Structure 1
C-alpha cells in the first residue's frame, strides 16, 4: 500500500519524498525544502497514537532541546524548524544526514583503536555540550540523554572534517532539575541502562557515562560487557546491579589497549556512580593524548609514503635548478586586470612540473603579517558546498582563523557549466591540494605568502562526482544557485566559527 504522505507539501515548503524509518514515537521522512531549491531535510512526525497533551509537550521539548544543542555542537543533530500539519500532527525539521549508524558499523567488525578514539571523542564532545546544559527561564539546565546506544549514533562523511559523528534522538532526554516526576518510571534501552536508571531514580550525567561505557566496550570488541540470562526487565535489572563486566582480555586476548583507555572504560562500567568518571570531560582528557599519539603516527606514515611516491629512484642533476611550487607561487605578481582591493578569485597556475589550482587573495599588509601561519594560534578551514538545481554551482570556502584577530572568510563560486569551473573542480578532486597566494594591497608586485592546503579523500571524491553529475544537467539561473548557496553558507557560519574557536586540532594549520 502506497504511503499517502509521499508528495505532500508541509507549510508550503517541505515536500515529503520517502519514509526513512518509524518507531514507537513516530515516523521520519526524507523531504525537499522547495524554498531552498530542493535541499534535503529529514522530518519527524509524532505518532498518531500519541496525540495527547503530555506526548505533544514531550515531542515539542525534544525539538527545542535538539535545536538549542544543535546550535552549540556539531556532534548533535541540528533541528531547524517546528510545526503542526493540517491533521494537527506536530513535526520538526532536522538536517538530513547520509551515513551509517554506529550499530550497523560495528555489526560487521569492531573499530580499530585510532578510529575508536576519533568516534568516541566526538560522541563525548556532543554529550559534554548536552551535560553543560541549555538556558531555560534564565537558568542553565543540564540535559541527560538517557538512551545512549549505537543505534542513536550516526557516522557520516563530512567534506570538511572527514568522519563526522552525530548524536541522535533526544526523545527521552531529561532536563535535569526540571519536571522531576517523569523519572519515576523506566525509560531507556535495557542493555545500555545504568543501575540507577533501572531503579527509576533521578539521573545525572553519570548515567549517560555508564551507557557510554557499555557502548565503548562493544565498539572495541563487537561484544557486550554484560550478558543477561533473559532479555527482560528483571533479567537486566539483576545483570546491571550484580554482574561484573567482562574484561577485554577475556573477550579478545589479541586486543592490546593502552592501559589508560582500558581503565577509563572499565571505570565507566562501575555500579556506583561515585566510582565512575564524574564528567565526560574526564574521558576526553584520557582520549586527547591518545588521539595525538595515533594521529601523529599516522601522519608520519603518510608523509613517508608521499616522499617514497614522489622521490625519483635516481637523482637527475639536470633538475636541481627547477624551482619548487612554493617558489613559483612566491614569484607571481597580482594580475593587471584585477583591482587593487581585498578580493578573492581562483586561477589555474601552470608550472614547469605541473598544473595546480590556486586561490589569489589580496589583504592589507598588516593583516598578512598578523596571520603568521607558522604559529600555534592559527587554523585553516576548507569546505565545498554544491547545488545542482536550478544551476550546477559550487561554493568554495576557505577560512583563515587567528585566535586573536578572528576569521577571514574567503569565498568564490565555480560554475560547473563553464569550462573554467569544470577544470577547477576536476583538478581539485584529482590533485587533492590547492595553493593560497596572499598579496598585500601595498605591494601587489609580489606574492607575500603561499600556503599549501590539502583536501581529504572524501572531499576529492565529492568534487569529482559533482563535476560528472553536472554534465547531464541543463544550465539555468546561475545567480539563483549562487544566492541559495550563500544562504546555506550563512546558516553554517556559526558552526564553522564554533569549531574554529574550539580546541579541536583537526582545523590546525600545519
Structure 2
C-alpha cells in the first residue's frame, strides 16, 4: 500500500466527529463521485508502510471487511493517507442515539425494544463470528478477536449507534466504530484504547482485566438503561476531576444501579409534568437490564446470542418475573393493623406521591425525597415522590425523653429547606423558621412541597 495524500483521493464534505484517537469525515471518492463514504483517520503518524502498527491495523481491517450484517457498519478498505492509517466505511445517514436522547429525553418502550432486538442481533453476529483460517494467528500482536474467534466491539455507547430510516419508514440501528476493538491483548491493559466512554465501561475493564464479550453486554446494558430513563446510572460532570473518576470507578465496581422504574418515572414526570400511575417497563425487561449490569461478568449474558434468546423469550412471556421485595424502611400496610409501639408518619398519597408509613425509631430522623443514587446522602425516611419541591433532606423529627419515661416529638426545618415546611396549616402559608422546634401531637400534619404528612403518637389511632 502506497502512502497517499487524503486530498488526492477524497473530497471532504464535512467533519462527522473527532475524538481522542481519530477523526471521522463524510467524504466523496474522486475516482467515483457517486461513492459517498465515512472516512476514519487514526491520530498517529506512520514512518513507513512496513511499520508494525500498520501491519496490525491491516490484519484487523481484513477481519472487519468480512463482516456483513445489516446492523453493523460495512467496512470497505484501508489506506495510509497523510501518513495516517485510514479506514473507508459505509456512510450511514442518520442520527446517533446520543443526539436523540439529548433532544427527546428518553425512548418509548416500543422503540427501546427495537434497539435491543437489533443490537442483540449485531452482537450475536460479532460474538460468534468465525475468523477464517487464513487470518494471521501466531504473531505476538494478534488482536483479541483473532485469538478468540470473536469480535468484541469494546466501545458501545450512544455515540456509536446510529438510527437511520428504512424505505418502509421503519428504523435501522447500526453499530459503528470498531476502532477500539482491535488491539494487542496485553497492550489493551496499558492503553487508553481499552477505556471507551467511562460511563459505559464494565467493572473488569477498570481493573485492567482481559476484555471479553460480557464487557460489550455491560456497555449495552448501560445504553438500554439510558434509553429508558434519559440518563446513565452513574453520570459524570467533569472527566478532568480525578475525584469524580475515582468515584465513578467505585460505582461501576461496587455500587447498586439506581432503580430503573423509579428513574424512568421521574424522567416521565419531568418531561410531561404528570406523574405516571405505574411503571411501564415490563418486568422481564427490568430483569434483562439487571443481568446486563451484573458486576461479575460471569453473571451477565455471555454473548449477544444469550441476550437475544432472553429478549425474545421475554417478548413471548416465557420469563418468570419474581415479585419485588418491599423496601425495609417503608411500611405500606393498613395502619389499623399496626400494633403501635412507636410514633409513625403517614404520607397522604397524591398524584405525585405514593402513600407510605414510617416508624420513628431514632432520636433524630431526617425526611426527604427518595434518593438512591450511589454515594448520595439519603434521608432516613425517603418519600417516594416525583415532587421536585421536596428536598432530598427536607425536614427533621427530634425525639426526646419526657419525665414520664415516654417520648415527645418535635418537627424542625433547620437546614432550612428551599421550599419550606408548613405545620397544621395549608401549604404555602407561614413556614417554620430555622430555629423552631414545633411539638407534635396525635393528628398533627405538615406539608413539604405538595405532600401532606400526618403524625401519629404511639398507642393512638
TM-score normalized by structure 1? 0.50
Please state if 1:271 is matched with 2:271. Answer: no
Which residue in the other structure is 1:110 paired with?
106
Q: CA deviation at 1:15?
A: 3.4
Aligned CA RMSD, in angstroms, stands at: 2.7
The answer to whether residue 170 in structure 2 is matched with residue 162 in structure 1 is yes
From the superposition, tell whether residues 120 and 45 of structure 1 become closer, same or farther in structure 2 (CA, over 3 Å): same
Structure 2 CA distance for partners of 1:264 and 1:157, relative to 1, 3 Å: same
Structure 2: any 5+ residue segments left out of the alignment? 138-147, 266-275, 318-461
Could you tell me which residue of structure 1 aligns to residue 229 of structure 2? 221
Tell me the equivalent position of 1:239: 251
Alignment partner of 1:127: what SS? helix
**What is aligned with 1:251?**
263
Deviations 1:319-348 (A, max 9, x none): xxxxxxxxxxxxxxxxxxxxxxxxxxxxxx
CA deviations on 1:128-182 (whole Å, 9 max, x unpaired) are: 111113415457611111111111111111225721111111111047xxx4312
Out of 5, 18, 27, the residue aligned to residue 14 of structure 2 is 18
- Deviations 1:410-464, CA, capped at 9 Å, x for gaps: xxxxxxxxxxxxxxxxxxxxxxxxxxxxxxxxxxxxxxxxxxxxxxxxxxxxxxx
Q: Say if 1:43 and 1:250 are closer, same or farther in 2 by CA, change over 3 A.
A: same
What residue is the counterpart of 1:64 in the other structure? 62
CA contact (8 A) 2:77 2:88 kept: yes
1:465-489: CA deviations, max 9, x gaps? xxxxxxxxxxxxxxxxxxxxxxxxx
Residue-by-residue CA offset, 1:100-127 (whole Å, 9 max, x unaligned):
0011111122111111111121111111
Q: TM-score, normalised by structure 2?
A: 0.55
Q: Are 1:80 and 1:94, in contact at CA under 8 Å, matched by a contact in 2?
A: yes
Task: Report the counterpart of residue 185 of structure 2 in structure 1.
Answer: 180
**Structure 2 residue aligned with 1:435:** none
Structure 2 Cα separation of the partners of residues 160 and 54 of structure 1: 46
Q: Which residue is equivalent to 1:467?
A: none
Q: How does 1:3-14 map to 2 (within 5 A)?
A: 8-10=7-9, 14=10
**Residue in 2 that maps onto 1:204:** 212
Farther-moved stretch of structure 1 (232-241 vs 206-215): 232-241
Answer yes or no: is the 8 Å Cα contact 2:129–2:151 preserved in 1.
yes
Select the residue among 122, 127, 130 that pairs with 2:123.
127
Instruction: Compute the displacement of 1:60 (Å).
Output: 3.2
**Aligned counterparts of 2:12 and 2:235: Cα–Cα separation in 1:** 41
Higher relative contact order (CA 8 A, sep 6+): 1
- Contact 1:261-1:286 within 8 A present in 2 as well: no
Q: Residue 228 of structure 1 contacts residue 235 of structure 1 at CA under 8 Å; is this kept in 2? A: no
Mapped to 1, the partners of 2:100 and 2:264 lie a distance apart of 19
Distance of 2:181 and 2:221 partners within structure 1 = 18
Work out whether residues 183 and 201 of structure 1, in 8 Å CA contact, stay in contact via their aligned partners in 2.
Answer: no
Q: Distance in 1 between matches of 2:181 and 2:153?
A: 4
Match of 2:272 in 1: none
- Mark the CA change 1:120 to 1:269 in structure 2 (over 3 Å): closer, same or farther: same
If each structure's helix is expressed as a fraction of its own residues, which one has the higher value?
Answer: 1
